[in-house]
Every structure is written in C-alpha cells, then in structure tokens.
Amino acid sequence: MADLVNLNGELNISLLNRVVSKDILDKILALHPPSVAGPDDSVAWVGSKDGIFSVNSAYSIIVG
C-alpha cells in the first residue's frame, strides 16, 4: 500500500494503472482523499448514548 501513495498523500497513478483495471481506477480517483487539516478521527458507537460499544447495546439494535 505504501507504494501507492507518496508522503504528500498523492496517489501513484502510473502504478495503479498497472495493478487495477481502468473502471476500478476511475472509481478510486472519484473518491475524496482524507484531509490532514480536519479533526482527528475518533471511535464512537452510535448504538449507545455514551458512544461506547457494549453487547447489550448491540443486542438492542438487533432486536429493535
């Protein structure tokens, strides 16, 4: 994976052309890359009010 992206976050298009089909490459190029200027990622579970995963909260989602 490291060969596909340089340190600036730019894709190595010539390498991608060799390893994926044109239709897949077109889909990859249509994606918006992650922004380093945005906020840091965080982990949150939407199945509970506090954002913390529990088996109970997962069960509640499954059974409704």
pLDDT of 32: 79
pLDDT at 7: 80
> How many Å apart are CA 62 and CA 13, to the nearest integer?
42
Task: Name the 3-class secondary structure at 26.
Answer: helix
Structure confidence at residue 42 (pLDDT): 81
For position 10, what pLDDT does the model report? 85
- For residue 6, what pLDDT is reported? 81
Separation between Cα atoms, residue 54 and residue 3, nearest integer Å? 38
Please report the pLDDT score of residue 54 as a whole number.
Answer: 95
Q: What is the pLDDT of residues 14-52, one digit of tens each?
A: 999 999 999 999 999 998 776 677 788 788 899 999 999
